[in-house]
Structure 1
Amino acid sequence: MSDHTANPLPKLHNAAWPGVVGKGPDSEPPIDLDTMLDLTAAAEVDGIKFDGTDLFLFDPHVSIDSSDDDLKQLAEKVQSRNLVIGSVVAPVWPPTGGGSAMGSDEERGQFLEQVRKGCGIAKKLRELGVRPYGVVRIDSAAGPGEWIEDPEGNQAKIADTFKQAADIAADHGERLAAEGEICWGGMHSWKRMVQLLELVDRPDVLGFQADMSHTLLYLMGYNAPEDRLLPEDFDWNDEATFDAAYKTLTDALRPWTIDFHVAQNDGTVHGTGSHDKTGRHCLPKDPNGKLDIVKRAGYWLRDENGNPTKKFQHICWDGCMFSNEVMMNPQTWNDILEAMINVRDAHGWS
């Protein structure tokens, strides 16, 4: 058994939502929460196991309208597997009962109601003792195509909606993390993401959720070619150019980052089911992966002086839109856990 005890923090979480995201009638069937929890709890590398799970507050996993009894049963279900809950995702999108953050007053009200429900669940899970840390994740629930019709006006609307969402979160003792992803209008470019965070200007409550797969697409200018940091004909063997671009990206967003996903990407976009195309998540050992996971994670987990930021107590693996065959293979989760352990060994703290 190898010694991985030097850095017990951050805690290592798996995400349950890959069992739901991109699944459904027009894709593969969802994988139920119990199965996702079982796969997470069974993974083990050198005696190290996952500490917890991050959840999607959406059926068939966790209803956004869960009762107190439902949440108590959820807590018991997770604790029985020696896991805890970290960050949760509020279903703010129109198909799930939410609405666009830059839409009509009614749509923005629906968005805020989902944030209110999500923060309420997050708070109750804390009170039940199953959720010692984590944030509530949101996005703009709008696409770049709609946003581009009035960039500054729509950006201002999203910022105003997020300010109201921040007030809701603060009332619940929660923090919100805005997910940087190319499929969300106003958040589809690294420059626009920074602009939005600055417009809201609530760093005590609203921060950034960085996913290594999604943020890689920021470098390439998908949906925002004016903000690309790598040339169109970029040679992936050009480490110096990549380093410079990645440093620009992480220097801009790391100060805002309060939630972090370890992930791999092959430099392409992908979508399944009803999910829009976004950065393709790959397995950590995928030969087409463009990221040195351990090295690049350090750009997010360490500050400009090379010291651990210690800005969150857990990190999570995200592998959205993996096939069910891949996810039902126990070796998948051992490989993922191994990558997470390697990141913590290199950049964690005690």
Structure 2
Amino acid sequence: MMENNYPKLHNATWPGIVGKGPDSEPPISLDAMLEMTAAAEVDGVKFDGVDLGLFDPHYDLDTSDDGVKRLADKVAKYNLEIGSLVAPIWGGPAMGSVDERKQFVEMVRKSCEIGQKLRAMGIRPHGIVRIDSASSVGNWAADPVRNSKLIADTFREACDVAADYGEKLAAEGEICWGGMHSWTAMLDTLEAVDRPNIGFQADMSHTTLYLLGYNAPEARILPEDFQWGDRETFLAGLKKLTHALRPWTIDFHVAQNDGTVHGTGSHDKTGRHCQATDPNGKLDITHDAGYWLRDDSGVLTKAFKHICWDGCMFANDVMTQQKTWNDILAAMIKVRQAHGWVE
């Protein structure tokens, strides 16, 4: 029987940047991230590609066409493809002033233009452009009705711009973003945007915190006295969450979570990404990924052609060990064996 060759297995490069900085550890270069990704191998299987953050110090969004070509050549040199892209929208909150919201949409436009060029070069066969509200939960909560409307309006404009480049936008399900900080708020936002090219990016670590109601106790799914040893209750909650958000899901991150919140550098508190082999990990990565990759009847959705590992805020001494990436790749392979297909 043929081994599953879909979904393709990608590694994220932005963990070399996110949570790093002056008050944390130095960033890890794009070249180093590509090198470690390409060097990972488990029983002859390697990563197929990378998902990229289009921001400093890995990338200058204002680079020329030659710069886009250099990026494509750099990734191709490692025998990797490019998948999803992260638009650097944090300079202008989606619920901010008129000028800030224009800045947000312009960052999406530039990212989509790069995405289109990479597709034309043949190195980016699939993937979305990721966005978030770039707004804190505290600021959003000052006027939820008005701010939710502004976020939806900005996202709608961004979707219309993305459509001009043949791109889809995926809103990141992470508790640190206002208007997206709970599963109910996320659904409200997606429904309010009402565009065919908007969807949801599910991350196994971040979305676990939706169950616990961090930043939104009223949207908590698991009971307040929930204990992590109660797997049956956890899976019932996960089933409810994925039933609601899976129809919107167009991008997926495999990850591990230890049930706590964490933040370093300029990144607000959010789901703690753990190593694939972390003994404190609360998820059965292979099994639990199936709730996102299969429908309620257990049928594969095939809603996206690749899955990505996100390991933000790992310490540099962890990220620079090749074993870390081999362990991650091994976890990804198991997910594909259990929930993949052949094309």
TM over 0.5: yes
* 1:117 aligns to 2:110 (yes or no): yes
Residue 6 of structure 1: how far off its partner (Å) = 2.6
**Residue type of the alignment partner of 2:184:** K
Residue 236 of structure 1: how far off its partner (Å) = 1.1
* 1:213 aligns to 2:210 (yes or no): no
* 1:348 aligns to 2:340 (yes or no): yes
Question: Which residue, 140, 145, 150 being the options, matches 2:143?
Answer: 150
2-structure distance, mates of 1:105, 1:73: 34
TM-score by length of 2: 0.98
1-structure distance, mates of 2:3, 2:29: 35
1-structure distance, mates of 2:19, 2:208: 20
CA-atom RMSD in angstroms = 0.8
* 1:239 aligns to 2:231 (yes or no): yes
* 1:57 aligns to 2:50 (yes or no): no
Q: Tell me, which stretches of 5 or more residues in structure 1 are unaligned? A: none
2-structure distance, mates of 1:196, 1:45: 40
1-structure distance, mates of 2:57, 2:199: 28
Question: Which residue, 28, 32, 35 being the options, matches 1:35?
Answer: 32
- SS in structure 1 at match of 2:170: strand
* 1:275 aligns to 2:272 (yes or no): no
Q: Which residue does the alignment assign to 1:254?
A: 246
Question: Which residue, 156, 162, 177 being the options, matches 1:169?
Answer: 162
Q: Can you list the C-alpha shifts for 1:215-254, whole angstroms capped at 9, x where unaligned?
A: 0000011100110111222111112211111111000000
2-structure distance, mates of 1:296, 1:194: 21
2-structure distance, mates of 1:10, 1:39: 21
1-structure distance, mates of 2:213, 2:71: 40
**Residue type of the alignment partner of 1:334:** N
Runs of 4+ displaced beyond 3 Å: none
Residue 58 of structure 1: how far off its partner (Å) = 0.4
2-structure distance, mates of 1:349, 1:66: 37
**Residue type of the alignment partner of 1:319:** G
Question: Which residue, 108, 114, 139 being the options, matches 2:132?
Answer: 139
Q: Tell me, which stretches of 5 or more residues in structure 2 are unaligned? A: none
**Residue type of the alignment partner of 1:193:** M
* 1:92 aligns to 2:93 (yes or no): no
1:288-327 aligned at under 5 Å gives the runs: 288-327=280-319
1-structure distance, mates of 2:86, 2:227: 36
- SS in structure 2 at match of 1:217: helix
**Residue type of the alignment partner of 1:329:** Q
**Residue type of the alignment partner of 1:108:** R
* 1:197 aligns to 2:185 (yes or no): no
Taking only the aligned residue pairs, the percentage that are identical comes to: 69
1-structure distance, mates of 2:42, 2:152: 43
- SS in structure 1 at match of 2:271: strand
Residue 187 of structure 1: how far off its partner (Å) = 0.1
Q: Can you list the C-alpha shifts for 1:122-162, whole angstroms capped at 9, x where unaligned?
A: 11111111111100000000011001111111111111111
Residue 36 of structure 1: how far off its partner (Å) = 0.3
TM-score by length of 1: 0.96
1-structure distance, mates of 2:241, 2:145: 22
1-structure distance, mates of 2:63, 2:258: 37
- SS in structure 1 at match of 2:282: coil
1-structure distance, mates of 2:177, 2:96: 13
- Please identify, of 56-65 and 309-318, the stretch whose mean Cα deviation from structure 2 is larger: 56-65
Residue 104 of structure 1: how far off its partner (Å) = 1.0
Q: Which residue does the alignment assign to 1:11?
A: 8
- SS in structure 1 at match of 2:113: helix
